[in-house]
């Protein structure tokens, strides 16, 4: 009987895309796979294992931390450290990046930035959450201690990026710049199997995802765009359908598979929106582009932005190319006024 390819087999088969690579990236992706399985296990039994709820502390961005935020952070940091394929890591849950200083790690070429648990306000109410990761080659010389500049690279320098969605099933989706593939976890066997090969946004989309509760704070162009998406026009299948979970991973995943537009624009109280450029916007932008979509801050390609802070935010508009282009047009027309 023919069976699906496992993620491990896929990673090894695709190592040939990197003729000069020595297999470190493959090993790093395997470490992410392992940590993902461990976090998945904890999420599945969260209600029974007393790891639901908040810890009563805030992260560096002033957001209250959930127990699972910290658990996921610890699992990823320790797993990636133990395997020795990275020289440093930065995470939403850590104020500063961690430089791994022993010889093995200093010899490593890669750094990782991550959102260990995305959508954490959804944990306690049993709605889909995710993990987002972004991988770069270091700029500093191999053999030295990793520096902040290694982490502050524009998204276009990403070597790989992806997410794990802990939904009705658990799926790991990633790209190394050669298309996007998704692997569904089989809990009975304990392996991820290729279930979504070569994912592409459908040509047309008719879903929009935005926290409309913030409408009053949005720029004029975004307000007009939302009203336009709600207008009746049979030819362009409007009004569009509104779908928003509050987990970027879930909203992105659905829109990539079904066709749609995700928006987290700036608002009067949040001049750069909410999402973090380095470990939310950039990895999703890389995936979007590799799946034939687009990601913009309303004006610029997300992956061109030169970051200046680890936890900096950016307005985020992402989805089918044509829908993002329409959104940019609405924003552009308003800024001309
Ligand atoms: P996190 O849980 O990692 O802090 O991320 C939450 C993010 C993102 O997943 C989601 O799209 C957005 O915040 C939701 O924000 P609102 O609740 O403001 O809509
Ligand atoms: Mn997040
Ligand atoms: Mn998070």
CATH of the domain at 303: 3.40.190.80
Q: Mind listing the pLDDT tens digit for each residue in 191-205? A: 999 999 999 999 999
DSSP character at residue 135: E
Q: Same domain for 134 and 80?
A: yes
Give the separation between CA 212 and CA 214, rounded to whole angstroms. Answer: 5
Determine the distance separating the centroid of ligand 3 and the alpha carbon of 74, expressed in angstroms.
13
Helix 282-290 to helix 248-258 angle (10° resolution) is 10
- What is the domain-level CATH number for residue 134? 3.30.540.10
| Domain range for 224 | 207-336
Q: Same domain for 184 and 236?
A: no
| The model's pTM | 0.96
Whole-number Cα distances in Å, 140 to 5, 136, 145, 265: 36, 12, 8, 34
Q: Same domain for 55 and 15?
A: yes
Q: Which ligand is nearest to the CA of 69?
A: 3
Q: Mind listing the pLDDT tens digit for each residue in 44-64? A: 987 776 777 887 788 888 878
pLDDT of residue 113: 98
Q: Judge if the beta carbon of residue 119 lies within 6 A of ligand 1.
A: yes
Assess if residue 2 is contained within a domain: no
Q: Same domain for 39 and 152?
A: yes
The residue to mutate among 72, 121, 127, having the most atoms of ligand 1 within 8 angstroms of its beta carbon, is 121
pLDDT of residue 53: 80
Assess if residue 98 is contained within a domain: yes
3-state helix vs strand vs coil in the chain, percent to 5: 40, 25, 35
Please report the DSSP string for 320-332 in residue order.
Answer: EHHHHHHHHHHHH
Q: Same domain for 152 and 228?
A: no
Determine the distance separating the centroid of ligand 1 and the alpha carbon of 297, expressed in angstroms.
17
Dihedral sign from CA coordinates of 54, 58, 63, 67: negative
Q: Judge if the beta carbon of residue 274 lies within 6 A of ligand 1.
A: yes
**C-beta of residue 332 within 8 angstroms of C-beta of residue 324:** no
Q: Same domain for 215 and 285?
A: yes
In the structure, what pLDDT confidence band is assigned to residue 112 with cuts at 50, 70 and 90?
very high
Assess if residue 201 is contained within a domain: no
Q: Count other Cβ atoms within 10 Å, centred on residue 61.
A: 12
The distance between the two most distant Cα atoms of the chain, rounded to a whole number of Å, is 64
Q: Same domain for 96 and 174?
A: yes
Angle CA(329)–CA(205)–CA(274) in degrees, nearest 5?
60
Determine the distance separating the centroid of ligand 3 and the alpha carbon of 115, expressed in angstroms.
5
Give the separation between CA 105 and CA 198, rounded to whole angstroms. Answer: 33
Q: State which of 155, 175, 196 marks the end of a domain.
A: 196
Q: Judge if the beta carbon of residue 248 lies within 6 A of ligand 1.
A: yes
Q: State which of 136, 164, 196 marks the end of a domain.
A: 196
What's the number of CA atoms in the CB half-sphere (13 Å) around residue 25?
26
pLDDT of residue 151: 98
Q: Mind listing the pLDDT tens digit for each residue in 280-303? A: 999 999 999 999 999 999 999 999
Q: Same domain for 144 and 280?
A: no
pLDDT of 20 > 70? The answer is no
Q: Same domain for 163 and 275?
A: no
Assess if residue 1 is contained within a domain: no
Q: Which pairing describes strands 191-196 and 316-320: parallel, antiparallel, or unpaired?
A: unpaired
pLDDT of residue 19: 65
Q: Same domain for 120 and 244?
A: no
Assess if residue 299 is contained within a domain: yes
Assess if residue 245 is contained within a domain: yes
Q: State which of 196, 215, 231 marks the end of a domain.
A: 196
**C-beta of residue 105 within 8 angstroms of C-beta of residue 46:** no
Give the separation between CA 310 and CA 113, rounded to whole angstroms. Answer: 9
Residue 100 φ then ψ, to 5°: -85, 120
Determine the distance separating the centroid of ligand 3 and the alpha carbon of 96, expressed in angstroms.
15
Angle CA(178)–CA(180)–CA(185) in degrees, nearest 5?
130
Task: Provide the mean pLDDT of the chain.
Answer: 94
- Show the beta-strand stretches assigned E in the chain: 54-58, 64-66, 86-91, 98-99, 110-118, 129-137, 160-166, 170-175, 180-186, 191-196, 207-209, 241-242, 260-264, 293-296, 316-320
Q: How many domains does the chain have?
A: 2
Assess if residue 202 is contained within a domain: no
Q: Same domain for 155 and 303?
A: no
Q: Judge if the beta carbon of residue 254 lies within 6 A of ligand 1.
A: no
Protein residue whose Cα sits closest to atom 12 of ligand 1: 246
């Amino acid at each position: 009987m023919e069976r699906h390819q496992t993620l491990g087999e896929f990673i090894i088969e695709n190592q040939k895309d990197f003729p000069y690579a020595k297999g470190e990236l493959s090993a790093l992706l395997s470490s992410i796979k392992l940590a993902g399985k461990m976090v998945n296990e904890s999420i599945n039994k969260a209600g029974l294992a007393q790891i639901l709820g908040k810890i009563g502390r805030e992260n560096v961005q002033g957001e209250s931390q959930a127990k699972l935020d910290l658990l996921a952070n610890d699992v990823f940091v320790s797993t990636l450290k133990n395997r020795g394929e990275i020289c440093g890591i930065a995470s939403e849950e850590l104020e500063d990046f961690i430089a791994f200083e022993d010889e093995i790690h200093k010899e490593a070429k890669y750094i990782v930035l991550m959102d260990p648990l995305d959508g954490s306000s959804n944990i306690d109410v049993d709605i889909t959450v995710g993990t987002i990761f972004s991988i770069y080659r270091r700029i500093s010389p191999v053999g030295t201690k990793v520096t902040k500049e290694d982490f502050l690279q524009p998204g276009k320098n990403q070597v790989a990026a992806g997410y794990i969605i802990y939904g009705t099933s658990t799926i790991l989706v990633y790209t190394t710049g050669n298309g996007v593939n998704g692997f569904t976890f089989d809990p009975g066997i304990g392996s991820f199997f290729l279930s979504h090969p070569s994912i592409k946004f459908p040509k047309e989309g008719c879903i929009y995802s935005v926290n409309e509760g913030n409408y009053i704070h949005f720029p004029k162009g975004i307000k007009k765009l939302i009203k336009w998406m709600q207008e009746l026009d049979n030819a362009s299948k409007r009004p569009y359908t509104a779908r928003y979970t509050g987990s970027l991973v879930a909203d992105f995943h659905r829109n990539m598979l079904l066709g749609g537009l995700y928006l987290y624009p700036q608002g009067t109280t949040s001049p750069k929106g909410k999402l973090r450029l380095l470990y939310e916007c950039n990895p999703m932008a890389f995936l979007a582009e590799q799946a034939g979509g687009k990601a913009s801050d309303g004006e610029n390609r997300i992956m061109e932005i030169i970051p200046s802070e680890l936890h900096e935010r950016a307005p985020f508009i992402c989805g089918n190319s044509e829908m993002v282009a329409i959104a940019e047009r609405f924003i552009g027309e308003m800024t001309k006024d």
